[in-house]
Structure 1
Amino acid sequence: MFSWLKCSRTPAQIMKRRINLWLPLLFSGIVITEIAEDFTAVKGKMKNWKLTKNMHGSQFGGSLFKFTDPIYAMMLQNILGKSYYVWDKEAHIDFVKAAYGEVFLECRLSHAEIDAIKNAAANGEKHLPEFTVRLFDAHNETIAIAKRIVYVRLKREHRP
C-alpha cells in the first residue's frame, strides 16, 4: 500500500535534491550535478542566465561567490555526522577573469583530509580547516578561486 511513498534514494541523492531546491541557489541558476555517495566529491554548474549577469554581461560576482558557499560544510556535515558542529566560518574570493558562460566547480575531500579533521577535533576543541575552490568555465579556464574556512567541533555531549 502506498508504495509510491517509499523513498529508495540514497542520502547523497536526497541531499542533492534538497540543495538544488534551496532558493538562494535555485534562483541563481546554480545546480549541483553530482554528489559522491560518500560525500567526498561534489560537482556543480552555474547556468548562463540573464538574471545571473551583471551590467557588463558577465556572471555576477555575488552569484559566483554564493556558488562556493554551502559545499564543504555540507560535505563535512554528512561525512562527520550529527556528533559535530560544522559551519561555514569565513571566505575569500579572488576573481581571475570574467565569465561569460556557464561556470563549474569540483570539490573533493581526501580520506587523509577527513582523518586529519577528525583527529584535530577529537579533543573537543574547534578546528578550522581551509579549502580552496576553483571556479572554471567550459574551456577549463579559471574564473575565480575561493578560500573557505569551515568551523568543525564535537558537540558538547561528545567531547572528552
Structure 2
Amino acid sequence: MKFTPRTLKLGMRAWPPFLGAGISVRHIADDWSRAEVTLRVNSLTRNALGTAFGGSLSSMTDPFYVLLLMPQLGEDYYVWDASAEIDFVKRGRGKLTAVMHVPASTVEDIRARAASGDRTLTWFECDITDESGDVVAHVRRQVYVRLQPHARKSNAETAMSVISH
C-alpha cells in the first residue's frame, strides 16, 4: 500500500460513503495496528426511530481490518473481507466509536499460517460504544489472507537454499 496512515485517514474522511453516513476516521496508528472511527448520530444520520442506521454501524468497521493488515503483511499477500456479523446490543445515539486492533502478534500468526500458500481466515472483533462507554453493537469481521503465487515460489526457493547449506 502506498499510503501513510495520515494520508489514508484524511482520504477516508472525505470518502463519499463515509461522509454521507456521518462516519469520521479519527486515528490510524503509525504502525497500522489500530484505527478509531466515530459516527455522530444526528438529524442527517439517524433512522425513523432516532437511532443510528444498522448499516452505518456495520460500515464503521467495514474496510479497516483489511486496510490495517495490508501494509503490515506487505504486497505479497491477497487480503479481502470474507464475512461479517453484527449484534445490535443497544440503541445507538449521540457519538459512537469503534476501535479496531490488529496487533503484530496476529499479523505474524497469519503470516505463518499463510506461508504454505493456503488461504487463511481470521476473525477480528470490536465493540461500537456510545459516549457513556456502553456497547451499542458487537462486530465480528472475517478476513481472508493468502500468499500470492510469485511469493510462494520465492519462499520455497529460500527454504530449499537454507536446507541445502
Unaligned 5+ residue runs, structure 1?
1-9
Per the TM alignment, residue 49 of structure 1 is displaced from its structure 2 partner at its CA by 2.5
Deviations 1:109-151 (A, max 9, x none): 2221111011011111110110011000000000000110001
| Structure 1 residue 155, shift from structure 2 partner | 1.4
1:60 aligns with one of 30, 38, 53: 53
Measure, in 1, the Cα distance between the counterparts of 2:116 and 2:42: 47
**Greater shift in the superposed pair: 42-51 or 124-133:** 42-51
User: In 2, Cα distance between the equivalents of 1:18 and 1:123?
Assistant: 35
Q: Distance in 1 between matches of 2:17 and 2:51?
A: 19
Tell me what 1:48 maps to: 41
Give the SS at the match of 1:50. coil
Cα contact 2:66–2:81 (8 A) shared by 1: yes
C-alpha displacement at 1:102, in angstroms? Answer: 1.1
Aligned match of 2:132 in 139, 148, 152? 139
The reply to whether residue 87 of structure 1 matches residue 80 of structure 2 is: yes
The amino acid across from 2:50 in the alignment is: G
What is residue 3 of structure 1 aligned with on the other side?
Answer: none
Q: TM-score, normalization: structure 1?
A: 0.90
- Give the aligned CA root-mean-square deviation in angstroms: 1.2
Q: Give the number of equivalent residue pairs.
A: 151
Residue of structure 1 equivalent to 2:26 = 33
| Structure 2 unaligned blocks of 5 or more | 154-165
> Structure 1 vs Structure 2: percent identity of aligned residues?
34
Decide which structure has the larger Cα Rg and report it: 2
- The one-letter code matched in structure 2 to 1:140 is G
Deviation at 1:81, TM superposition (A): 1.7
TM-score, length basis structure 2? 0.88
Deviation at 1:48, TM superposition (A): 2.0
Matched, 1:119 2:112: yes
Task: Quote the Cα distance in structure 2 between the aligned partners of 1:53 and 1:95.
Answer: 15
Match of 2:101 in 1: 108
Matched, 1:19 2:34: no
* 2:44 counterpart SS class: helix
Which string of whole-angstrom CA distances, capped at 9 and with x for unpartnered residues, describes residues 76-102 of structure 1?
012112111111110010000001111
Question: Could you say which residue in structure 2 is the equivalent of 1:6?
Answer: none
